[in-house]
Amino acid sequence: MPHGPAQDRGEKAGFAVTKQARSEQTRVHLLAAAAELLRRDGYEACSMTGISQAAGVTKGGLYFHYSSKDEMCDAVQAEAITVLHAFIKKQDAREPSAVRRLIYLTHALMRWLGDEAVVGASFRMAREMGERHGRFLAFSRAWYAQVQRYINDAEELGELDKSAPLDISALLIAVMCVGAEAMMSTRTGDRDMEPVKAVAGMWELVKPGLIGARGGHALPGVIA
């Protein structure tokens, strides 16, 4: 039986949806492969050929979605920022304490080093490539801005010690996270210590100076 115009249009629409779904699936595979290679091998050792092979996608398919390795790196960091923003939105809605939100954020960042390849890759790109170009610092700037926001919120809520400088406090928290990532990734420190455990231990040392007696009284049960 010959097809009518309506049926032909339906088949074309179905084909377009299927093609779009396949294209999105290819993009996801490429992003996952790039993130894993960047996290494991670093920017210099990662190549477009290696990404296409790891994803099982032709070079033509790769370049259809991403025109260069740097564009691929931008996409990896954008995905990491999406992970970050989703976490922030969820915890801001349920946790009133800014100090707790700050502690939980640092824990999440360290946990994501193992659980989210896009985050691990973004940390490594910042560490290895940040001095060359600011584009490799997109994720780092996003999470550091959030640390600064929580520090400011904590000060406004009266959760910080009055003697704690806000800028130095934010910098200290950032150094904790960046240092833990670098030490664990390069195996410079204790190879058996996980990043989350390392940051939790540092929080035990930092909290007295950051929140002091005032913050500790206002935040019973706060743990690192």
pLDDT tens figures, 19-34:
778 888 999 999 999 9
What b/e readout covers 155-173, taking b as 16+ CB neighbours within 10 angstroms?
Answer: beeebbbeebeeeebbebb
Residues 6+ apart with CB under 8 A from 54: 33, 36, 37
Residue 183 CB neighbours (<10 A):
16
What ranges make up the beta strands (E) of the chain?
none
Residue 224 has a pLDDT of 42
CA-CA-CA-CA torsion for 36, 37, 43, 47, nearest 10 degrees?
-140
Question: Mean pLDDT across the stretch 93-100?
Answer: 95
Which pLDDT score, from 0 to 100, does residue 101 have? 96
Give 3-state DSSP helix, strand, coil % of the chain, rounded to 5: 80, 0, 20
Q: Express each pLDDT in 183-213 by its tens digit.
A: 888 877 666 778 898 999 999 999 999 987 5
What percent of the chain has pLDDT above 90? 73
Instruction: State the pLDDT at residue 223.
Output: 45
What token pair was written down for 72? 């691929």
Angstrom distance (rounded) from CA 214 to CA 211: 7
According to CATH, the superfamily of the domain at 5-218 is: Tetracycline Repressor, domain 2 (1.10.357.10)
Average pLDDT, the chain: 88
Domain chopping of the chain, boundaries: 5-218
Q: Which residues neighbour 112 within 8 Å (Cβ) at sequence distance 6 or greater?
A: 80, 83, 119, 120
pLDDT band at 220 (very low <50, low <70, confident <90, very high): very low
Q: List, for residues 155-179, the tens digit of each pLDDT value.
A: 999 999 999 999 999 999 999 999 9
| pTM of the complete model beyond 0.95 | no
